[in-house]
A and B are shown apart, each in its own frame.
Chain A
Amino acid sequence: MTNVLQLLAVTISILLLVLVLELVRRKKLTEEYSFVWIVSALALLGIALGRRMIDAFAIAIGIYYPPAVLLLMLVLFVFVAALSFSVVVSRQRQQIERLIEDTALMDLQLRELRAAQASTADVNADASRPGHADDAPSAS
């Protein structure tokens, strides 16, 4: 009975690991964000292989129902993972804000540059060949 359960746990852990690696291979998941999932899949595998560790740990910290340790670890892991995603989202928001600011500033500079270019072109055209303003490069 326990052996069947253990086999199932090991299989699921390996499948998770393969899934993560496959996502990285297809570039759906970038390397830097994959490590946390690889480590967690390996941890899951370790727990599945060494069930007695859980029991021993539960007894050591005074939990009477050993599977509760698994739930505790799961909750902690999800919390940390979600927090790290919030950090990533915050950083990306700052980057996006900065990019938007940069585009807006560049838009102004581009407009000013074009205006300056157009006015010098006009002056040049007027000076060299009066009446041939259409030789000036278009302003747009």
Chain B
Amino acid sequence: MSVASRPASATDAGQSRSDLLVIIPAFNEAGSLPTVLGDIRQHAADADILVIDDASTDGTPRLLRQLDVKWIRLPQRLGTGAAVRIGLRHALSLGYDIVVRLDGDGQHPAGVLDHLLEALRRREADVVVGSRYVGSERPDIPVARRLTHWTLGVILSLITGQRVTDPTSGLWAFGHQAVRLLADHHPSGYPEPELILFLRRNSMRVKECPVTMRDRLAGRSSLTLHRTGAAMARLLLLLVVVPLRSAIGGSDD
């Protein structure tokens, strides 16, 4: 099941295109999407945008048809991980160099994009992840959640041998190598911690970048107590299993 990768040519879409694609996985984000898109267009006018609607049940589908934006709608809900994967597959087939993933709830200000992409453009990293905990600013996050992030970050740091401060960050920038790898192998579910493990296992250079995130603009997080529990249980297993999996030999196919 390989990704149908057409040769990247500028004539592909019949028009000149940016080298940067911003993908936004969205589940029921009709309340915040217009603001998020406006924010991106204001701060990264040259970027192409793709919204992946993960079978939303609110007004998102109608909204997307009205907004002037490229969108994909999953006919069944597959979760954030699969939504990101589909965006990466699309990016790979059209030959984008850099893909940024940010959330549709407005917590990731597009103003940080330039900052986020610096290390990628200088080829100092294959992947850059925005972290709320790197900078000097103390993010306004409830103590319990902060403690969970901290614990998880310490565990992931120990396993990967790299400093992981924000293990559930949804703000990522992928360079070309990473896009090629992840178009087929981006983890499913709530993917972030597994993604960190997977990237390390496949020798991708991951760099953290300080980012000030906001509260979500509207709607609710898809994380319920039940889902959080399931995600944590899955994560415990993955902490053991992912480092034991063989690396993907995908750099030459």
Contacts and interface: CB of A to CB of B under 8 A. Distances in A.
Contact of B70 (A101, A104, A108, A116): A108
A110 to B, nearest CB: 11
A101 B73 contact: no
A73 interface: no
Contacts of A104: 52, 72-75, 86
A97 interface: yes
B82 interface: yes
A97 B89 contact: no
Contacts, number: 34
A105 B50 CA distance: 12
B1 interface: yes
A108 B90 contact: yes
Contacts of B224: none
Contacts of B13: 112
A40 to B, nearest CB: 30
Contacts of B70: 108
Interface string A94-119: 00011011011101100010001000
B159 interface: no
Interface string A73-107: 00000000000000000000000011011011101
A100 B74 CA distance: 7
Interface string B45-74: 000000010000000000000000011111
B85 interface: yes
Looking at chain B's contact residues, is the secondary structure mostly helix, strand, loop, or mixed? mixed
B86 to A, nearest CB: 5
Interface residues of B, number: 18
Nearest to B13: A112
B78 interface: yes
Nearest to B184: A98
Contacts of B90: 105, 108
B76 interface: yes
B188 interface: yes
Given A107-B72, A107-B73, A108-B72, A101 B14 contact: no
Interface string B74-93: 11101000100110011000
B14 A97 contact: no
A105 B72 contact: yes
Given A108-B70, A108-B90, A116-B14, A101 B85 contact: yes
A97 B78 CA distance: 7
A110 B106 CA distance: 30
Nearest to A108: B72
B4 to A, nearest CB: 9
21 contacts: A97-B78, A97-B82, A97-B188, A98-B1, A100-B75, A100-B76, A100-B78, A100-B82, A101-B78, A101-B85, A101-B86, A101-B89, A104-B52, A104-B74, A104-B75, A105-B72, A105-B86, A107-B73, A108-B70, A108-B72, A112-B13
Interface of B: 1, 13-14, 52, 70-76, 78, 82, 85-86, 89-90, 188
Given A100-B78, A100-B82, A101-B78, 19 more contacts: A97-B82, A97-B188, A98-B1, A101-B82, A101-B85, A101-B86, A103-B75, A104-B52, A104-B73, A104-B75, A105-B72, A105-B86, A105-B89, A105-B90, A107-B73, A108-B70, A108-B90, A112-B13, A116-B14
5 A-B pairs with least C-beta separation: A101-B86, A108-B72, A104-B72, A104-B74, A100-B76
